[in-house]
Amino acid sequence: MLLICTSIYQYRMSFDKEIKRILLELPQSINEESIIEVYRYQYTNNPIYKLFADSVHRSPAVVKNAGEIPFLPIAFYKKHQIETQDGNVDFSKAISFSSSGTTSSSRSTHTVADPAFYAARSKQIFENYYGPLTDTIILAVLPSYEENPSSSLIFMMKHFIEATGHAASGFYAFNIAAIKAVLKELHTENKKIIVWGVSYALLDWAEQERESFSSVIFLETGGMKGRRKELTRSELHEQLTKGFGVTAIHSEYGMTELLSQAYSFGEGLYAFPTGLIPVLREVNDPFGRITRGSGGINIIDLANINACCFIETQDIGRISANGFEILGRIDASDIRGCNLLYV
């Protein structure tokens, strides 16, 4: 198995580019040594991450395996500029994305140094699971990029919509009548049709009337996030499947602070692409690891090489014999997420 490098200094002039190349071209080569090398690189070149790692006594002198790597609490993105800069990373084309918090003070900010890589990585993941975007039509139940350019989800959607090359693909905001009219026109299309939207908006639609869209994929992006009463994912999907006349609801798991996404094709079980690794921790012990059962979710996202690849989220997950589930939020964590795009 190919290692990324034997020494952090061997690729110092282009370490981040090497990571990006491997993720896009040779993801199967990623192994534990690769992950540790990325940790050492970010410890050396990310001052906020270094301060945090030192504060919890997890310097490279201590970390001998991937299980000992410290995960930066996601709240750090609210107060700090999280950047990994070795002196050679080009931030001249950077875009800053903000989470959909309830107030400006509760919003996280992620400066993405390489938007083109983010677009390529997201497209790679999507097409790995759903096939070519050129064979897909996407109807986004979301505001347009012009209305919300600081949303990483909407940036990704804009890229996907353009890549489909189909006139019907687009942002439909929350104009359900327009979406229904387009779906009626598309019933003879020999393409995969995806209605992609925030859960709250999809639920509003599903509750209006019972319809049958058996040939359409409905893909939701998360919970209610304060817009209405929270539902478990199984409750949400039960209502959506009944309202839309489909057998399963798909889901996308992503966040402003990361660059990669996981997808669920039903039953609440998520597939994580190579380079995006969920790790469960004890809720009250950030270094306690869980291999079965439920706990807080830590994420290793190697695509986040210009920020931080090791994030302690405020989400709860469960590992079972059937796969990985996203259960919800840890109590008292902030109300945040893509559903706050829907007003």
- What digits encode the pLDDT tens for the residues 52-73? 999 999 999 999 999 999 999 9
CA distances from 94 to 22, 158, 253 (A): 21, 17, 23
Contact 120, 24 (CB under 8 A): yes
> Which residue bears the tokens 């687009």?
170
Res 120 pLDDT > 70: yes
Q: Which of 300, 287, 263, 242 is nearest to 34 (CA)?
A: 300
User: Residue 45 is encoded by which pair of tokens?
Assistant: 């070149």
- What does the block give as tokens for 220? 């939701």
List Cβ neighbours of 205 (8 Å cut-off, separation of 6 or more).
141, 176, 243
Per-residue model confidence (pLDDT) at position 21: 94
Distance of alpha carbon 304 from alpha carbon 19, whole angstroms: 10
Q: What average pLDDT score do residues 265-277 get?
A: 93
What's residue 291's pLDDT?
87
Question: What residue type is 229 in one-letter code?
Answer: K
Amino acid at 17: K
Which residue blocks in the chain are alpha helix, DSSP H? Answer: 15-25, 32-45, 47-55, 76-79, 115-130, 152-164, 176-185, 199-208, 233-244
**205/209 Cα distance (integer angstroms):** 7
Distance CA 154, CA 146 (A): 9
Per-residue CA distances from 343 to 107, 209, 228 (Å): 17, 21, 11
Tell whether the model's pLDDT for residue 36 goes beyond 70.
Answer: yes
Mean pLDDT of 172-191: 93
Give tens-digit pLDDT for 126-152: 999 999 999 999 999 998 888 889 999
**Could you give the angle at the alpha carbon of 310 between the alpha carbons of 308 and 315, nearest 5°?**
115
Q: CA–CA separation, 158 vs 327, rounded Å?
A: 28
Per mean pLDDT, which range of 42-56, 154-168, 193-207, 315-329 is the poorest?
A: 315-329
Residue 37 contacts residue 5 (beta carbons within 8 Å): yes
Calculate ∠ Cα 286-103-75, nearest 5°.
Answer: 15
Residue type, 270: Y
> What does R_g of the chain's alpha carbons equal in angstroms?
20
What are the respective helix, strand and coil percentages of the chain, to the nearest 5? 35, 25, 40
Give me the amino acid identity at 104: S
Q: Is 72 exposed, middle or buried (0-12, 13-18, 19+ CB in 10 A)?
A: buried
Residue with the bigger pLDDT between 247 and 103: it is: 247
Strand-pairing partners, residue 316, are: 296, 328
178 in helix, strand or coil?
helix
What SS3 class is residue 218?
A: strand
Q: Which two tokens stand for residue 203?
A: 């639920």
Q: What is the pLDDT of residue 25?
A: 94
What domains appear along the chain, each with residue ranges and CATH number? 15-87 (no CATH), 115-273 (3.40.50.980)
Which residues touch 274 (CB under 8 Å, ≥6 apart)? 23, 27, 28, 30
Region 23-49 average pLDDT: 95
